[in-house]
Amino acid sequence: MDKGWSEKNKEIQKLISKEATFGEAIKKLIELRKELFDQITQIVKTFPEEAFSRMPFAGAEGYHSKTLAYSIWHIFRIEDIVAHEMIAGDQQILFARGFCDTIHSPIITTGNELSGDEIAAFSKALDIQHLYLYAQEVQESTDRILEKLQYSDMKRRFGDETNTRLQETGCISEDESAYWLISYWCGKDVMGLIRMPFSRHWIMHIEAMRRIKNKLCRTARKGVDPIAYCGFSCNHCFLGEWCGSCRTAYNACSFATVSPDGKCPNASCCQEKGLDGCYECDVLESCEKGFYSPTNDGANAAKAQALYIRKHGKKAFLQAHDRLHERYDFSRTQELLGHDYAEGLCILEEN
Ligand code: SF4
Ligand code: SF4
């Protein structure tokens, strides 16, 4: 489990069990859920449609054997059912907000009953943008429920009535791989539900999504030019696990993720001008677009690297970086190159 998330979750579990620290636990839980949800946002914002139904670990044991779309559906179907049918006793977001129609899901269940090819086919049928909106509404609605809970609610248990209600929703498949969920949830009190579907369950599936995403990125980058449009080396980039290169549809570079259209301004500009990269551009030195914007800490380093490529070519550039990275890690390298672009160019040439 991700160490940072695991530590935060452990602290929340400790705080939530005492009345004096209950309020603090809920606050921290909502913060952790936001941090985890940001991972989903980043994936949905930057990854192409086809990524959501791909199964790079098909047949493996574990959550990473599913798809990105299935993972999102599954996390939020479970949360929607538990939060609304059990804790709040009102209508699920899926039905109340009409997401059944807009997501185009062929099922309303949690998806536990699906396996292998069924998961891939199910994932292909989903409208990812509406699935994301659904996930967002479930998260927000659960957060509101969490904020209203009192410590005295934690020991509330669920009897036969809830069990019957869950069965009648048709939201849990009668297949044995799913049906156990009803007695599992009904065997817990409110605190037990918070500890699993609202926190740990998220961590486990979002970690699996990260593994899927990383593998898709590595596959996307195979055989692709490792020089980014702005002049960075994808081979040496600290985002190598996250980003499938700005030359593929799996671009998750920082400027792509913060741009409203999900595209890096330098990549778009080069494509519009028909350039292989900013190193071929006449106005490189004075450019202030994307990575080169004066407010970006890495602007000078990116420019120094593009200038080096213009002067010495890509092969020499990658070799210069190999040598630099024998001594320094990514962030130190960028720091050294980033004081001034002319000085950065000299450092690359002299090392
Ligand atoms: S962030 Fe830029 S340099 Fe890093 S891997 Fe992505 S495209 Fe390449
Ligand atoms: S104008 Fe700037 S972003 Fe566009 S190609 Fe030239 S250097 Fe790159």
- Ligand 1 atom closest to Cα of 237? 4
Q: Buried b / exposed e across 196-214, counting CB within 10 Å, b at 16+?
A: bbbbbbbbbbbbbbbbbbb
pLDDT for res 326: 92
- Ligand 1 atom closest to Cα of 243? 6
DSSP string, 267-327: HHHHHHHT-SSGGG-TTGGG--SGGG-TT-TTHHHHHHHHHHHHHH-HHHHHHHHHHHHHH
pLDDT, tens only, 47-89: 899 999 999 999 999 999 999 999 999 999 999 999 999 999 9
Ligand 2 lined by 293 (C-beta under 6 Å): no
Q: Buried b / exposed e across 224-256, counting CB within 10 Å, b at 16+?
A: eebbbbbbbbbebbeebebbbbbbbebbbbebb
pLDDT for res 200: 93
- Give residue 101's Cα distance to chain centre: 25
Q: How far apart are CA 219 and CA 265, in angstroms?
A: 24
Residue whose structure tokens are 């192409």:
48
pLDDT for res 238: 85
pLDDT for res 277: 98
Q: Which uninterrupted H or E stretch holds 341?
A: helix 341-350
Tokens at residue 301, please?
Answer: 């380093």
Residue whose structure tokens are 């536990």:
112
Domain residue ranges in the chain: 3-220, 234-350
What is residue 78's three-state secondary structure? helix
Q: How far apart are CA 204 and CA 71, in angstroms?
A: 10
Q: Which uninterrupted H or E stretch holds 220?
A: helix 201-221
219 CA to centre of ligand 1 in angstroms: 14
Q: How far apart are CA 289 and CA 299, in angstroms?
A: 9
* Residues of the chain scoring pLDDT < 70: none
316 CA to centre of ligand 1 in angstroms: 19
**Reported pTM:** 0.86
Residues in contact with 60: Cβ distance below 8 Å, sequence separation at least 6, in sequence order: none
Q: How far apart are CA 223 and CA 217, in angstroms?
A: 12
